Amino acid sequence: MRYQEPIYIQNDNGAVRNKDILNVNMSSDICVFESPKFSLSGASKIDCTGTTSGTSYVLSADTETIPLTFNFTANTNTFLNTNAEFRFEIYKYNDSFNGFSSTPTYRSNTLTYPTFSATNSTTQYVPVSGLTLDGEYLIKPFYTFGLCTDFLGKLNKSIDTYTYISGTEYGIYDKEFDYYFIAIKQAEVPILTQNVSNLVEINKIRQQVVIPTDGQTTFNIQNGVSGDFVVTLNGLVLAPNLDYVFTGNTIFLSGETYSDDILTVIYSTGGGYNLVGDNITVSSAIVSGATGAQGSNLVYFNTTTGKYEIYTSVTPQDGGTVIVMLNGATLANGVDFYQSSSDPKRLILEGTILVDDMITIVYYPRTSTINCLTTNNPMVTWQIPTPPQADNGFFTLEVGFDSNFTSMYYTGTTDYQIGVGYYAQSFVASGTVGTTLYYRVKNEKNYTTICGDVLNSTAYSEVIPVVIQSNSINSY
């Protein structure tokens, strides 16, 4: 960079008014600023001829910063010779005029050379909150340095290269000095919600108490069962498929009862707000690890907190009651266990879990379209925490014959709507009693860069089973 002082008269009479001055010698001083050269890790040049358009970030909700490492490789003596200071600013691309805005979205602190002279490298952490995602961002370097001419140097004058902000492409992009990156938010996980397509009146829950006769093993439920249910014998919870099996509306116990026993069945009727009962048998050593590393395990020992954890198969209803039974005995909510504040499917125990323990978890789920299906046109509803800011994505309702979705029963898409956070889609269900289907919602977000490349991010909701309860849904 070159900076030139004004021309000054160089003889003794130069300031005398109304006097002819002959043979005046004129001169000027030129100050050449050799800009330090650097490479930048965490960003790249704009190159639309390559396979990708540049460095890109797909950021999760808990990502707070983007690291940028400036490695100064040449002209570092300029820092010493001119007392130069370095800073950078970030500018966001604006689709409305196909260029980068001249108003910065982020300004770094000013960096003096002694703070990074040992390695000629500095890493700066750009806060994601200041970028206004999604977007494409230009990084422009600036220097403030003391002028090196005799006259202005004695006056301690300095120059800020920000005064000369310019570019040759995309408004203010200078391919020699500037860098660029793309940053978008990760697609959010769809949160399944309740709706009225598979719903009954609230609090439609029943309790049936039976005093058996000696040797009785068969018991009929008086009203239609919707969803899972709980069977207790003398206060202890029985395990399905071990202590009993259920067919139609009949419970078949694996052992005999006596006339002084009390059998209790707790269940919902008529569909909607179906109870979910998760039955877990601890048949092998319990997996352990750090918080959040449980994977698909429903029983887990958290080595970070030293607590045993159990997990529900689907997300419980917000604010709903969760009942936990260990080997038939009901645990006290808030005393023997409590629900995690960060993961609603995680239940934290105050005691120990052993191999061969049997655990039952009973709760109302967050979604009402689950387990027993009572309509041939169930509606699936969901939300995402942050409504779309652009029409650059879509949701897909996937219904499969298995929980891995290797064989699809139905798929249907719903486009993003700007500013809308709640969505719904239905599908036609058919089959005989006992047919089990599984559904989930996929969120697919796409971002098209200035080079025409497309960044993709995909997230899935939890998987929900539905079971056809009545052949009447096939009526015509």
The full DSSP string for 4-73 is: EPPPEE-STTTT-TT----S--EE--EEE--PPEEEEET-B---TTSSS-SEEEEE-TT--EEEEEEEEE
CA dist., res. 248 & res. 347, Å (int): 32
| SS3 of residue 328 by DSSP | coil
Alpha-carbon distances of 395 from 117, 365, 392, 412, rounded to whole Å: 51, 22, 11, 8
- Pairing, β 226-233 against β 337-339: unpaired
- Pairing, β 85-94 against β 111-112: antiparallel
- In this prediction, residues 387-409 reach a mean pLDDT of 95
Question: Does residue 13 carry a pLDDT above 60?
Answer: no
Residue located via tokens 């007392």: 83
What's the pLDDT score for residue 19?
A: 52
Tokens standing for 320? Answer: 């709903």
Question: Does residue 364 carry a pLDDT above 50?
Answer: yes
CA dist., res. 117 & res. 159, Å (int): 22
Q: Given pLDDT bands bounded at 50, 70 and 90, which one contains residue 201?
A: very low
Task: Give the distance between the most distant pair of CA atoms in the chain.
Answer: 136
Single-letter amino acid code for the residue at 379? M
The lowest-confidence range among 76-85, 138-147, 191-200 is: 191-200
pTM value?
0.75
- In this prediction, residues 160-173 reach a mean pLDDT of 87
Q: Which of 155, 152, 88, 76 is nearest to 120 (CA)?
A: 76
Angle of CA points 152, 156, 158, to nearest 5°: 80
Q: Report pLDDT digits (tens) over 121-132.
A: 999 999 999 899
Q: Report pLDDT digits (tens) over 95-142.
A: 998 999 999 999 999 999 999 999 999 999 999 998 999 999 999 999
